[in-house]
Amino acid sequence: MLSHEELLHAVPNALQAVDLPASWGPKRAGKVRDIYHLNGTRALITTDRISAFDRVLGTIPFKGQVLNQLSAWWFEQTRDIVANHVVAVPDPNVTLARAAEPLPVEVVVRGYITGVTKTSLWTLYAQAERAPYGIPLPDGLRKNDPLPAPIITPTTKATGGAHDERLTRDQILTHRLVAAPLWEQTEAVALALFARGQALAREAGLILVDTKYEFGVLDGRLLLIDEIHTPDSSRFWTLASYEPGREPENFDKEYLRAWFAEHGYRGDGKPPPMPADFAARVAARYIAAYERLTGRQFAPGEQPAAARIARNLAAYRRKK
């Protein structure tokens, strides 16, 4: 684990963006990833940008490397459940992936009732909604309680700075966002992935609370794409800290969300700037999650990251 001083020193060098030569084609910048398309392959470059409340809120050193390498590990742990898009990982921050056609729905699986965002299950339940996302929930649940069984709470994929919107299963099928047989397969795969994630997280002393999956289709086959079981796409609590009625220790973006919420920001207007000390503490949580889940020591990639990424991608292309 890097020291707090080392992380503080790295804050100014966090990876904001990567611009590759024109031969890689046009860049599409998402909230966190810079994406290039080349001959049926996507170069997914995971930067250190961090988002919450559907907004980019700043950068966290080494966050991109953690997400990319942790996803690569999880893709290996789940390939027996569903095929994934990974072709190669030529750099700590880069995954080369098959260009599947993404489903227009984000697949969120929840095992506990929690959260502080406008669309979180606890927020809706506390406002007396007893069937959010069209799924009936019993009375008497408290924040952070386990659900009777994991549930799927899908959302739209927002673009252009808009917020993700809630969807129900009926809406997905009625509006033909996804064909019924494909959606049934997607649901089954998502629940199987979540069960595998919870089992491996528990072995690491963590609870996988909820997570977001993205799926695509390539040559008629369902693929898991984007990322899997990272601190960006998932909530993790420490198993030892979980007690009914108490706030558990977390290794995810909830720490960041809570800080912004405490400073009066929930996604509207201009976010307050993150102090360097806070960014370093967030980085430490990301790295700790990686080390606990994988059992590996985090080895920071050579800096500056942008130059290293361009060099490693050029070397990969020469080999091909």
pLDDT digits (tens, 9 = 90+) for 117-172: 777 899 999 999 999 999 999 999 999 999 999 999 999 987 665 678 899 999 99
Task: Using pLDDT thresholds of 50, 70 and 90, give the confidence band for residue 182.
Answer: very high
pLDDT digits (tens, 9 = 90+) for 192-227: 999 999 999 999 999 999 999 999 999 999 999 999
**How many helices (H) and strands (E) are present in the chain, helices listed first?**
8, 14
Q: Rounded to whole angstroms, how far apart are CA atoms 262 and 280? A: 18
Mean pLDDT of 9-33: 95
Encoded tokens for 7: 């992380």
DSSP, collapsed to helix, strand or coil, labels residue 290 as helix
pLDDT digits (tens, 9 = 90+) for 81-104: 999 999 999 999 999 999 999 999
Task: Using pLDDT thresholds of 50, 70 and 90, give the confidence band for residue 74.
Answer: very high
Q: Is the dihedral of CA 133, 138, 141, 144 positive or negative?
A: negative
Average pLDDT of the chain to the nearest whole number: 95
The answer, yes or no, to whether residue 245 has pLDDT greater than 90, is no
pLDDT digits (tens, 9 = 90+) for 44-55: 999 999 999 889
pTM for this entry:
0.95
Task: Using pLDDT thresholds of 50, 70 and 90, give the confidence band for residue 39.
Answer: confident
Q: In whole angstroms, how far apart are CA 287 and each of 78, 254, 294, 311?
A: 21, 15, 11, 25
pLDDT on residue 117: 73
Q: State the CATH class of domain 4-319.
A: alpha beta
pLDDT on residue 160: 62
| Better pLDDT: 19 or 255 | 19
Q: In whole angstroms, how far apart are CA 286 and each of 50, 72, 170, 315?
A: 11, 15, 36, 29
Q: Rounded to whole angstroms, how far apart are CA atoms 38 and 45? A: 14
The answer, yes or no, to whether residue 305 has pLDDT greater than 80, is yes
Encoded tokens for 255: 């720490």
Q: Is the dihedral of CA 145, 146, 149, 154 positive or negative?
A: positive
Cβ atoms < 10 Å from Cβ of 137: 18
What percent of the chain is modeled with pLDDT above 90?
A: 86
Annotate 100-130 with DSSP letters as a single string: -EE-SEEEEEEEE----STTSHHHHHHTT-S
pLDDT on residue 303: 87
pLDDT on residue 254: 84
| Better pLDDT: 228 or 165 | 228
The secondary element (H helix, E strand) that includes residue 66 is helix 63-78
Domain boundaries, the chain: 4-319
